[in-house]
């Protein structure tokens, strides 16, 4: 339609919004990620102090010890805005559904050694509660974080964590042949099982943190950085001896998700650490503190799954995280003896 | 092997609130420190019934599909110069107010529903809140992406977040939302999910989006309707949440009633801007503000409050005033924008005869007597080359922050002035509704960042209008002033001229 | 109780099929047409039956797909495997 | 009634205290019966401003956009100050005849 109008008559008068042009130049069309993400959060002239925290403005840089000159340096390498995020996750979910359908239709779980089935139910299913805590932590970051860039990505990560908790629950239903016995049992383990209590205590301790960047470090960098490698590498590898491949088919997405999420967390940590020595000092302090806590909390779970090799597996996960952080200019700190 | 199948409800229970546990290493009140201070008593969080049983797999699937459809329309609009399909360039002013005033509220809603998703002690409500949180982010981002195309051709859109934090009329929506987010979680839920989303949001979206459809703005219709599909979920959350609070404890009833009274009035005042858009900015009109109010408040709200009567909830205080004013508010707000088009990032214009006919027909009781003479006089002044502008800065209501243009309910010729005193200082409000809100929580409203007062304190770039407009980032001579003579008018006329078949312009020129 | 419940649907393929199913299955339902959308009011209660919509679409329609077509609603919601109902308590 | 807050003593900045206006009061003026001026107008005026300056210079500069303003006789106008009848004295300053910070002056002309 309207092709009869000569092209010069409908030349755009500008390429993008002024706030985007101020960052990237006036003559460049902006990407959808940029327009959706940069400078969207209100920054000035707030009308009322929160009745629940009058010491802060509604959006306030003082809610964390991390100090940034510009809060829009946390570019998400995945460039997620709502549409790309959901399309990506719908695809991830589809591949999980395909895997579960494949396993269910062929009754493959029946071929897994019963003891390993029980072991998986005992280590994987309680983690859905840990995901739920991660979900709450992401909501805190989305709530109190500063700048659309890091908070929108945290909101997506929060949705991921609810989704992960639900996907793990679904595996629980598969293991229970459709029944919920395993989910009920796993909750009892999480709440009362001795091996899980250090981890649950850690999760609850994180839920009372108020510095949102500390929550980011403790949950998304440290705890995830230890739990996922442990789960996706050491625990998964232990299943090979028990014909665990059908389980691995269903849990394979966990490693994919972690790799995807780590691209974002690495970018965030690198930018925060690169900003100043002061930031690096704060970050290293949190890494050390929460690294020690997480290491200790995971030992009993690892021992339960891997026996005497459990300690080495946690130490291995810790070395991986440490190497990752070193590339970002950060230090996890020394290994703690168990 | 025979698979046992859980019911939808059982499964949903495990997949949401079943994830939650009773903390024992930390105290409940340290994990949820904001849960009790408002005086709301919840005895059994498990009594909360989730109206929609949406798990993340279904959420991702549906939302991804919606987004694919929507972005196909946005792409197509960019490729095909969709801006040429609108009825008239004046229509775009409604879109400008939308991105300046509404889109940033979608963003604020995103952030504060994350607050609820973290800080409400009930796991079921937290799940609903977090879905709404990312839905609201969706609305914000899809609006930006849709309107991005119009921004390439039209003025007033280019710096909407900067303007939202500063511009005089945008402090109306901003202070509305700041008021909600600075309140406790239950007041926010009542304010936004119930009073705004359930009771009033149809007045914003449905006529406006239907109006966009009628005016050839397919992109806005698409994002609007697509957003409304989420909105239905949000409205249902609002209704069920309020019902839940009312059922949990009788002591909650007066607290919730107070919030309903306050937020009905806050929302109603905010929507007077929407009334102005509907009655004045849509070249082709779907329904008048008055008709929309009847359909979406008086009918739907009537059924709602009749239903809530069992809990001891009555209609919002001053709903009768809103009803009595429905023939006036849109005209009074248009007058504000006509007065101050030199300081706004939207255009206004003189109302033409056809439009006057429509307004007379839609407002038989009020228009010809009270507003038509004013518009005719303005038009004569403009035709004589002296377009009327108000050179003084308006007095603003301390609560709703709209210029104090609203009149006494029984006397449309007299402005309704209300004044209160707090700690020896006067505070002016536009109505009994806003006065009551002030007097209920004066410690809050004395903090209001009133744009006119801020200019006089010297906080807005300087003492002259051009300096203030620079500080607002208004492109002077393009974003502001009357539509007549604007670059937008010139561009639109050139486009329309270009659309005639080739033979005609030549003939017309002879 | 006969306070009206109400649903507003997009005039899309699915939306039109849902509207037609409602009008067929709820004798008291009344249609109002607007640009790009259809509003249906019904005293007291209104049900969307999945089978009825499926038959009109020629495919299996899940009540959760209502999220793709709905613009607005008024009333409380009850959602199950075979139907989607609006009602006042 | 005090605002409900998490901790007692909730407060924020009182934004429009008189000391924030560099020696001026905020004064609102409204010409009744002329709603082409949509609302009252806000003016920052030192309390030493003589009423004559308001009547002879400031009000005309604001209201002359109305073609009828030229026929207005302010000397014959009826005035109220903060809701009370008011007989302003041209020779006195605003602050000397009851005008305070955020006072509202309304006037009716024939």
Q: Could you report the per-residue pLDDT of C6-59, keeping only the tens digit for each?
A: 999 999 999 999 999 999 999 999 999 987 889 999 999 999 999 999 999 999
Smallest Cβ distance to C79: which of B52, B65, B209? B52
Q: How far is CA B310 from CA A220, B305, B306, B316, B488, in A?
A: 47, 9, 8, 15, 54
Domains defined for chain D, CATH in brackets: 26-108 (3.10.20.560)
Report the pLDDT value the prediction gives residue B264, as an integer from 0 to 100. 97
pLDDT tens for residues B463-489? 999 999 999 999 999 999 999 999 999
Dmax over CA atoms of chain D, in Å, equals 59
CB-CB neighbors (< 8 A) of C89 in chain B = 307
Average pLDDT over residues B169-192: 98
Q: Mean pLDDT over residues A119-142, rounded?
A: 98
Tell me: the pLDDT tens digits for D27-42?
A: 999 999 999 999 999 9
Q: Sorting pLDDT into bands at 50, 70 and 90, what band is A338?
A: very low
Residues from chain D that touch A48, judged by Cβ atoms under 8 A, are: 12
Kindly state the DSSP code that residue A335 receives in the 8-state scheme.
P
Q: What is the pLDDT of residues B211-266, one digit of tens each?
A: 898 999 988 888 888 888 898 889 889 999 999 999 999 999 999 999 999 999 99
In this model, does residue A276 exceed pLDDT 60?
yes
Top mean-pLDDT range of B64-73, B216-225, B499-508: B64-73
Domain residue spans of chain A: 73-327
Subunit contact C34:B210, Cβ cutoff 8 A: yes
Would the ipTM clear 0.85, i.e. be above it? yes
Give the homologous superfamily in CATH for domain A73-327: Ribonucleotide Reductase, subunit A (1.10.620.20)
Instruction: List CB contacts (< 8 A) between B68 and chain A.
Output: 83, 87
For residues B113-117, give the mean pLDDT.
Answer: 98
CA separation (Å) from A281 to A65, A284, A286, A336?
11, 5, 9, 20
- Whether the pLDDT of residue B510 is over 50: the answer is no
Q: Please tell me the predicted confidence (pLDDT) of residue A53.
A: 97
Q: Which of C65, C68, C77 sits opposite B236 (nearest CB)?
A: C77
Task: Give mean pLDDT, residues B174-187.
Answer: 98
What domains can be seen in chain B, in order of their start residue?
45-493 (1.10.620.20)
Q: How confident is the model at residue A188 (pLDDT cuts 50, 70, 90)?
A: very high
Report the alpha-carbon distance of residue D103 to residue B428 in Å, rounded.
9
Provide the pLDDT confidence category of residue B503 given band limits of 50, 70 and 90: low
Residue B219's pLDDT is 86
Residue A153 tokens, joined: 């990505």
Cα distances (angstroms) measured from residue C23 to each of A264, B253, B358, C16, C58? 50, 38, 33, 11, 18
Residue of C nearest to B239 (CA): C76
% of chain B at pLDDT higher than 70: 97
Residues 6+ apart with CB under 8 A from A114: none
Residues D46-69 have a mean pLDDT of 97
Residues in A touching B59 (Cβ below 8 Å)? 159
Answer yes or no: do A49 and D6 touch at CB < 8 A. Answer: no
Point out the least confidently predicted range of A51-60, B172-181, B226-235.
B226-235
Structural domains of chain C ordered from first start:
4-87 (3.90.56.10)
Where residue B504 falls among pLDDT bands split at 50, 70, 90?
low
| Disruptive mutation site among B49, B56, B69, B229 for chain C (greatest number of C CBs within 10 Å) | B229
Residue among A51, A53, A54 whose CB faces D4 most closely:
A51
B34, HSE (Cβ side, Cα atoms, 13 Å)? 21
Q: Which residues contact A308 (CB under 8 A, 6 or more apart)?
A: none
Residues 6+ apart with CB under 8 A from A128: A164, A165, A166, A168, A169, A172, A183, A186, B19
The confidence score (pLDDT) of residue A232 equals 96
pLDDT digits (tens, 9 = 90+) for B122-146: 999 999 999 999 999 999 999 999 9
One DSSP character per residue, B201-230 reads HHHHHHHHHHHHHHTT-HHHHHHHHHHHHH
pLDDT of residue A4: 52
Q: What is the pLDDT of residue B107?
A: 98
The model's pLDDT over A74-94, given as tens digits with 9 standing for 90+, comes to 999 999 999 999 999 999 999
């Amino acid at each position: 339609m309207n092709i009869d109008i000569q092209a010069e008559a409908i030349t755009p008068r500008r390429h993008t919004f002024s706030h985007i042009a101020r960052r990237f130049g006036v003559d460049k069309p902006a990407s959808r990620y940029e327009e959706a993400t940069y400078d969207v959060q209100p920054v000035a002239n707030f009308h009322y102090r929160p009745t629940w925290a009058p010491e802060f403005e509604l959006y306030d840089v003082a809610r964390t010890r991390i100090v940034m000159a510009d809060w829009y340096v946390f570019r998400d390498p995945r460039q997620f805005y709502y549409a790309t995020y959901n399309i990506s996750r719908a695809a991830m979910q589809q591949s999980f559904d395909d895997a579960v359908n494949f396993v269910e239709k062929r009754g493959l779980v029946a071929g897994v050694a019963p003891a390993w089935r029980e072991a998986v139910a005992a280590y994987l299913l309680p983690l859905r509660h840990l995901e739920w805590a991660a979900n709450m932590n992401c909501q805190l970051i989305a709530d109190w974080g500063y700048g659309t860039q890091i908070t929108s990505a945290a909101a997506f990560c929060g949705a991921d964590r609810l989704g992960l908790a639900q996907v793990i629950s679904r595996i629980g239903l598969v293991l229970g042949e459709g029944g919920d016995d395993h989910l009920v049992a796993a909750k009892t383990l999480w709440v009362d099982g001795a091996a899980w209590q250090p981890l649950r205590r850690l999760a609850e301790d994180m839920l009372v943190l108020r510095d949102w960047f500390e929550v980011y470090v403790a949950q998304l960098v440290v705890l995830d950085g230890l739990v996922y490698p442990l789960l996706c590498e050491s625990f998964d590898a232990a299943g090979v001896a028990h014909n665990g491949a059908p389980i691995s088919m269903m849990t394979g997405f966990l490693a994919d998700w972690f790799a995807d999420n780590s691209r974002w967390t690495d970018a965030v940590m690198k930018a925060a650490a690169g900003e100043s020595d002061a930031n690096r000092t704060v970050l290293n302090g949190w890494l050390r503190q929460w690294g020690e806590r997480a290491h200790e909390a995971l030992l009993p779970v690892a021992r339960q799954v891997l026996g005497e090799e459990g300690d080495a597996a946690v130490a291995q996960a810790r070395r991986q995280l440490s190497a990752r952080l070193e590339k970002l200019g950060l230090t996890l700190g020394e290994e703690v003896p168990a | 092997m025979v698979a046992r199948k859980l019911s939808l409800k059982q499964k949903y229970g495990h997949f949401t609130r079943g994830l939650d546990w009773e903390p024992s290493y930390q105290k409940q009140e340290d994990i949820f420190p904001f849960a009790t201070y408002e005086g709301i008593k919840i005895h059994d969080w498990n009594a909360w019934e989730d109206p929609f049983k949406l798990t993340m797999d279904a959420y991702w699937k549906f939302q991804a599909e919606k987004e694919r459809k929507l972005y196909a329309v946005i792409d197509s609009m960019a490729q095909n110069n969709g801006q040429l399909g609108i009825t008239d360039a004046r229509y775009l002013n409604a879109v400008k107010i939308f991105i300046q005033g509404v889109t940033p509220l979608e963003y604020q809603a995103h952030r504060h529903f994350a607050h609820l998703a973290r800080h409400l002690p009930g796991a079921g409500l937290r799940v609903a809140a977090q879905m709404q949180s990312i839905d609201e982010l969706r609305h914000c981002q899809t609006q930006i992406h849709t309107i991005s195309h119009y921004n390439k051709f039209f003025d007033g859109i280019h710096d909407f977040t900067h303007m939202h934090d500063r511009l005089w009329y945008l402090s109306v929506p901003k202070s509305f939302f700041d008021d909600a987010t600075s309140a406790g979680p239950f007041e926010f839920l009542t304010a936004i999910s119930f009073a705004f989303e359930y009771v009033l949001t149809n007045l914003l979206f449905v006529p406006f989006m239907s109006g966009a459809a009628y005016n050839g703005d397919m992109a806005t219709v698409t994002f609007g309707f697509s957003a409304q599909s989420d909105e239905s979920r949000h409205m249902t959350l609002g209704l069920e949440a309020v019902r839940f609070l009312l059922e949990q404890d009788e002591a909650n009833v007066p607290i919730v009633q107070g919030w309903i009274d306050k937020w009905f009035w806050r929302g109603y005042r905010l929507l007077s801007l929407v009334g102005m858009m509907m009655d004045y900015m849509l070249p082709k009109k779907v329904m008048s503000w008055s008709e929309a109010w009847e359909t979406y408040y008086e009918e739907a709200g009537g059924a709602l409050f009749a239903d809530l009567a069992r809990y001891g909830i009555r209609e919002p205080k001053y709903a009768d005033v809103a009803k009595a004013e429905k023939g006036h508010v849109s005209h009074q707000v248009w007058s504000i924008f006509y007065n101050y088009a030199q300081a706004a990032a939207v255009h206004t214009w003189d109302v033409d005869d056809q439009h006057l006919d429509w307004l007379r027909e839609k407002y038989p009781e009020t228009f010809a007597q009270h507003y038509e003479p004013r518009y005719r006089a303005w038009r004569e002044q403009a035709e004589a080359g002296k377009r009327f502008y108000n050179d003084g800065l308006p007095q603003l209501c301390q609560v709703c922050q709209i210029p104090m243009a609203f009149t006494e309910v029984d006397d449309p010729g007299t402005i309704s002035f209300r004044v209160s005193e707090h700690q020896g200082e006067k505070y002016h409000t536009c109505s009994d509704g806003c006065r009551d809100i002030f007097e209920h929580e004066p410690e809050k409203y004395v903090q209001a960042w009133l744009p006119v007062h801020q200019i006089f304190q010297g906080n807005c770039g300087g003492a002259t209008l051009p300096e203030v407009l620079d500080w607002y980032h208004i492109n002077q001579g393009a974003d502001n002033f009357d539509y007549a003579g604007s670059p937008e008018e010139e561009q639109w006329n050139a486009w329309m001229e270009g659309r005639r078949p080739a033979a005609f312009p030549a003939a017309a020129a002879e | 109780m006969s306070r009206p419940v109400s649903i507003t649907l997009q005039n899309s393929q699915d939306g039109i099929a849902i509207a037609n199913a409602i009008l067929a299955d709820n004798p008291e339902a009344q249609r109002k047409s607007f640009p790009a959308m259809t509003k249906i009011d019904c005293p007291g209660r209104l049900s969307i039956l999945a089978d009825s919509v499926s038959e009109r679409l020629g495919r299996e329609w899940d009540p959760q797909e209502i999220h793709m077509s709905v613009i607005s609603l008024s009333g409380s919601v009850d959602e199950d495997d075979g139907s989607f109902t609006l009602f006042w308590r | 009634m005090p605002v409900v807050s998490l901790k007692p003593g909730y407060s924020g900045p009182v934004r429009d205290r008189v000391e924030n206006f560099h020696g001026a009061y905020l004064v609102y003026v409204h010409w009744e019966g002329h709603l082409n001026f949509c609302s009252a107008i806000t003016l920052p005026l030192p309390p030493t401003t003589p009423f004559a300056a308001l009547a002879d210079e400031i009000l005309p500069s604001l209201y002359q956009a109305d073609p009828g303003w030229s026929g207005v006789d302010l000397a014959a106008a009826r005035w109220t100050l903060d809701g009370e009848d008011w007989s302003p004295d041209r020779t006195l300053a605003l602050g000397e005849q009851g005008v305070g910070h955020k006072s509202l002056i309304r006037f009716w002309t024939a």
